[in-house]
Chain A
């Protein structure tokens, strides 16, 4: 029961986060690449209920930042006017699934801005970029996991079911992939690929590169399960009745692999999100102005950003949450699969 609650909590967190990131443009108050060139490195807007004169407001509001006269990158709240935060405000146009919309979840009057997580060096809203970047990072993780599992499933089943030299060569090949230091391989592979590509192509390439490198572990696990399953009595019986390979695979063997596939998926997704973050951190992911968590965190490579603008670390928070969520789910599934198989 307790385990169930943990699972539900983790799933709920993950679903919420994924919803936020999938509906990114609606949740974010601004477009991810809109530059406010008068506001580089603005700290996060504080959300107030109490105004400067001590009056309480039921609706939360923000003050506008104004640069200090003698400095470029330091700001004070200007208390001359307060800007209440409204829900469902009209703003920049965006499209979700081909539908063009202008409504954003929250926002302030257009003459002011709300920067929930501050701005970067170009005055772009960090919060909007984190949300948009999450969509990209998570999509990369999910798609790359699918690529990996599809490859792993195919190779694992073929090699477990048919055995012999196919098995031998496939597994030696898998071992070769397992001993590769994958981070360096990723870096090397990515730098061999053409750099002169559109963002969509870059995204698909990223998915393919990350996905193809991780097929070995699921393939070995699935091979083991197939090996065990194919000598079960009901499989032999089915074969005795003249069932085709295809029938045996789909009806009797494949169902055994579901548990492993799910656990592997839950393990691989955060790992691949991290892989994307790593590649983008080193400048090998998607280029400007497309945000991803790796791109956003890459700002921290600069010493002065790291020590002067703490809010630039904000993208790490959702990254940690998503990773923990997936790992928790993987744990629970793992336990269930094990108890089921005993």
Chain B
């Protein structure tokens, strides 16, 4: 409690004497980038809740969301995806040129930029960073994105301010792969890298002085189990319209609060300034007292992720799973999958689970993704009768009201879901009821998340699963892994050496082609065809996607959350805190 109180004091105090800490104005030779937002005032600290502690502060090996959220504020990339416009924009590279064949990128680096410890940034740091990311031994989860056409991208220093990146083949989304590749300080990390101790570098125990980046903030302190404090990077390379150096905030504080309910409670009590993603139920709870307590709430529309049912079509011959194998002929029949898709009440899912704040899905591309969605994909309305007709045409019949397959076996299967994801468990309950109307006997088996992933990816010991994918980027490229028949998340049939069906091989070709196509219109046409194949063959029964909902205190200004991750903090350097009149500041406590 005392700690909460102190926190409040710190926050108030920082707000009151904001004039005390103004960063140094940019030097003449420094090539800064100017932001266009409303002018803010300096000072204050923004307190943000996180589900759990980051596991590491090493940008190359970080795989979990909390780590990436923190690290992302401390690091910068060469070319950045603007989360609001979803287009690429210059970051540490102030400009770049592309060769005619689309394979060679020549990037001009910003001059005079310094790391958060004051050391200058040069092309050597860029070369070093890519070397580390691409090294097999560092096991970076981002490495796959930098391997194009089977060959890692090569990065060459031309002079101190120029690097050349060469791709093995033309690549439609080439500029986007630079996003989130953190440029590392060679002067700090080269030694651990050469010594082979890179995986142990930059843990949570590392002293702040030994960690430096090019992002708007740098590490100040970390209290295990409680919080992590970032402070302003005094050398940051972005300025506002009046050439004042960003960020406006003195500090960015992450509190580790556990689940969403705890985050909402602490937000309501005034301990945190924003909640990054709220569930629909808590959102309506907050909207009830939004005006009296002074919250700003954002419903940004459907997210880019998609939730779906996936049927186990894996090759089970080598496994001892004969019981599941007897059900595979059903799952393999496209009419069976279509019937299930017809019977699922997507409107009810949106209404009952997302409280209306979400969108029903019939394909893998969210309606928010205006640039890439194929709007001609049919949205057949829910119809139990049509579903029954389809099942009948596939040779199924009914014994009483129970469904029987052509061999006289009753149709009964279980759906596994992650027990930690309440929304997907609820979807399972709705689907269970819907499929019961078709005469299918469905059991729901909630599993611990890892146990579930193990069944889906390793043992194949499941029949049907509810999962979610996507949400990373609006571009089709991250989807390659899902739809290519040899992709790592080709969930319904993993480890296919060659496509098992004609439509899968067609899908393979389309996905490969769109990746090489540099012209947007032609690329869109190819991806449209891919979406049509996906939606008519129903490898996944697409269900729904939740809206992205964000809540913040009213005095958080320049706040423009985006549907791309990191939803709320992507432009944290431009956020500032409007001074709160003393009376209302008191009411927070």
For the complex, give the distance between the alpha carbons of A195 and B282 in Å.
30
Contact of B355 among A35, A72, A199 (CB under 8 A): A72
Q: Given contacts A40-B352, A283-B446, is CB(A304)–CB(B428) below 8 Å?
A: no
Known: A121-B426, A303-B282. A37 touches B445 (CB 8 A): no
Give chain A residues whose Cβ lies under 8 Å from the Cβ of B444: 287-288
Q: What are the residues of chain A within 8 A of B208 when measuring CB–CB?
A: none
Are the C-beta atoms of A289 and B261 separated by less than 8 Å? no
With an 8 A cutoff between CB atoms, is A308 at the interface?
yes
Query: How long is the Cα–Cα vector from A195 to B416 in the complex, in angstroms?
Result: 10
One digit per residue, 1 when the CB lies within 8 angstroms of any chain B CB and 0 when it does not, for chain A 183-220 equals: 00000000000011011000000000000000000000
For chain B, the bracket of interface size reads 20 to 34
Smallest Cβ-Cβ distance to B356: which chain A residue: A72
Note all chain B residues with C-beta closer than 8 A to A199: 443
Residues in B with CB closer than 8 Å to A302 are: 261, 281, 422
Surface stretch bound by A, among B180-188, B429-437, B497-505, B516-524 = B429-437
Question: How far, in angstroms, from A286 to B452 measured CA to CA in the complex?
Answer: 19
A37 and B348: CB pair below 8 A? yes
Contact of B426 with A303 in the complex, beta carbons under 8 Å: no
Closest A residue by C-beta to B349 = A37
CB pair B426–A287 under 8 Å, yes or no, is no
Most A C-beta atoms less than 10 A away, residue of B285, B352, B353, B356? B352
Residue numbers of A with Cβ under 8 A of B are 33, 35, 37, 40, 72-73, 121-123, 195-196, 198-199, 283, 287-289, 302-305, 307-308
Partner among A195, A196, A304 whose Cβ is within 8 Å of the Cβ of B284: A304
Q: Is B351 an interface residue (CB 8 A)?
A: yes
Closest 5 CB pairs of A and B: A303-B261, A304-B281, A37-B348, A288-B429, A304-B285
Choose among B279, B284, B348, B419 the residue that contacts A283 (Cβ–Cβ < 8 A): B419
Q: Give chain B residues whose Cβ lies under 8 Å from the Cβ of A122.
A: 352, 426, 429-430, 433
**Contact residues, B277-297 vs A (CB, 8 A):** 279, 281-282, 284-285
User: Does B61 belong to the interface (CB within 8 Å)?
Assistant: no
List residues of chain A with CB within 8 A of the CB of B419: 283
Q: Identify the B interface with A (CB < 8 A).
A: 261, 264-265, 279, 281-282, 284-285, 345, 348, 351-353, 355-356, 414, 419, 422, 425-426, 428-430, 432-433, 443-447
Q: List A contacts of B414 (CB < 8 A).
A: 196
A296 to chain B, nearest CB (A): 13
Distance (Å) between the CB of B429 and the closest chain A CB?
Answer: 5
Since A37-B430, A287-B446 are in contact, a sample of 11 more A-B pairs with Cβ atoms closer than 8 Å, ordered by chain A residue number, is A37-B348, A37-B351, A37-B352, A287-B443, A288-B425, A288-B432, A289-B432, A303-B261, A303-B285, A304-B284, A308-B285
How far is it, in angstroms, between the C-alpha of A37 and the C-alpha of B433 when the chains are bound?
11
| CB-defined A-B contacts under 8 Å, sample of 7 | A122-B352, A122-B429, A196-B414, A283-B446, A289-B429, A303-B264, A303-B285
Which single member of B279, B282, B345, B356 contacts A37 (CB below 8 Å)? B345
CA distance A208 to B337 in the complex (A): 38
User: Is A73 touching B355 in the complex (CB atoms < 8 A)?
Assistant: yes
Q: How far is the CB of A318 from chain B (nearest CB, A)?
A: 23
Interface pair A198/B443, CB less than 8 Å apart: yes
A132 CB to closest chain B CB (Å) equals 15
Docked Cα-Cα span, A302 to B348, in Å, equals 20
- Cβ-defined partner of A195 (8 Å) among B285, B428, B430, B445: B445
Q: Which residues of A contact B447 (CB under 8 A)?
A: 195
Q: Do A72 and B428 have beta carbons less than 8 Å apart?
A: no
> Nearest chain A CB to B283's CB is how many angstroms away?
9
Bound complex: CA of A288 vs CA of B444, how far in Å? 7
CA distance A308 to B285 in the complex (A): 8
Which of B264, B285, B443 is packed against the most chain A CB atoms within 10 Å? Answer: B443
Which residue of chain A is the closest to B259 with respect to CB atoms? A303
Residue in A closest to B283 when the chains form the complex, CB atoms? A304
Per the bound structure, the CA–CA distance linking A275 and B444 in Å amounts to: 22
Name the A residues within 8 Å of B443 (CB-CB).
196, 198-199, 287
Query: What is the CB-to-nearest-CB distance from B500 to chain A, in angstroms, rounded to a whole number?
Result: 26
Whether B265 and A287, one on each chain, are in contact in the complex, defined by CB atoms closer than 8 angstroms, is no
Q: Which residues of A contact B432 (CB under 8 A)?
A: 288-289
**B348 cross-chain contacts in A, Cβ below 8 A:** 37
Residue in contact with A35 in the complex, picked from B264, B281, B356, B433, CB distance below 8 Å: B433
CB distance from B458 to the nearest CB of A (A): 16
Alpha-carbon distance A287/B445, docked complex (angstroms) = 7
Q: What separation, in Å, do the CA atoms of A289 and B425 have in the docked complex?
A: 11
B285 to chain A, nearest CB (A): 5
Q: Which residues of B contact A123 (CB under 8 A)?
A: 352
Q: Which residues of B contact A40 (CB under 8 A)?
A: 351-352
Q: Taking the nearest CB of chain A, how far is it from the CB of B555, in angstroms? A: 25
Expressed in whole angstroms, the Cα–Cα distance for A305 and B422 within the complex equals: 13
A217 to chain B, nearest CB (A): 32
Q: Is the CB of B285 within 8 A of A307?
A: yes
A196 and B345 in contact (CB under 8 A), knowing A121-B352, A288-B429?
no
Kindly provide the distance from the CB of B554 to the nearest chain A CB, expressed in whole angstroms.
22
In Å, the complex CA distance between A237 and B444 comes to 62
Report B282 CB to chain A, min CB distance, Å: 5
Chain B CB within 10 A, most for which of A33, A123, A303: A303
B430: chain A residues at CB < 8 Å are 35, 37, 122
- B352 and A303 within 8 A (CB): no
Q: How far, in angstroms, from A196 to B447 measured CA to CA in the complex?
A: 10
Closest to B434 in A: A35
- For B445, list chain A residues within 8 Å (CB): 195-196, 287
Report Cα–Cα, A335/B430, bound state, in Å.
51
Least Cβ–Cβ distance between A113 and chain B, in angstroms: 17
Q: Which residue of B lies closest to A37 (CB)?
A: B348
Q: Which residues of chain A are within 8 angstroms of B279 by Cβ–Cβ distance?
A: 304
- Cα-based distance from A37 to B356 in the complex (angstroms): 13
Q: Which of chain B's residues have a CB closer than 8 A to the CB of A304?
A: 261, 279, 281-282, 284-285
Question: What residues of A have a CB within 8 angstroms of the CB of B261 in the complex?
Answer: 302-304
**Chain B: minimal CB distance from A121 (Å):** 6
Does A303 contact B429, Cβ atoms closer than 8 Å?
Answer: no
Shortest Cβ distance from A299 into B: residue: B422
Nearest CB in chain A: distance from B219 CB, A: 32
> From B414, which residue of chain A is reached at the shortest CB distance?
A196
Which B residue sits closest to A35, measured CB to CB? B433
Shortest Cβ distance from A71 into B: residue: B284
Give A121 to B433 CA distance when docked, in angstroms. 14
Complexed CA–CA distance, A195 and B264 (Å): 32
Which residue from chain B places its CB closest to the CB of A199 in the assembled complex?
B443
A302 to B430, CA, bound (A): 19
Q: How far is the CB of A102 from chain B (nearest CB, A)?
A: 16
Rounded to whole angstroms, the CA-CA distance of A192 and B147 in the bound complex is 41
- Residues on A with beta carbons closer than 8 Å to the beta carbon of B428: 288
Which residues in A have their C-beta under 8 angstroms from that of B265? 303
How distant is the Cα of A122 from the Cα of B425 in the complex, in angstroms? 12
Cα of A196 to Cα of B455 in the assembled complex, Å = 12
User: Closest residue to A306 on the B side, CB-wise?
Assistant: B261
| B440 → chain A closest CB, angstroms | 14
> Residues of B contacting A195 with CB < 8 Å?
445-447
Q: Looking at the assembled complex, report how far the CB atom of A330 sits from the nearest CB atom of chain B, in whole angstroms.
A: 35
Give the complex CA separation of A121 and B425 in angstroms: 12
Given that A37-B345, A287-B443, A287-B446 are contacting pairs, would A73 and B284 also be in contact in the complex, using a CB cutoff of 8 Å? yes
- The chain A residue sitting closest to B261, CB to CB, is A303
Tell me, in angstroms, the Cα distance from A289 to B428 when the chains sit together. Answer: 10
A303 to B282, CA, bound (A): 8
A33–B414 alpha-carbon span in the complex (Å): 18
Q: Which residue of A lies closest to B441 (CB)?
A: A198
Query: What is the bound-complex CA distance between A37 and B284, given in angstroms?
Result: 19
B contact residues around A308 at 8 Å (CB): 285
Smallest distance from the beta carbon of B517 to chain A beta carbons, Å?
A: 43
Q: Which residues from A are CB-within-8-Å of B345?
A: 37
Task: Give A198 to B414 CA distance when docked, in angstroms.
Answer: 10
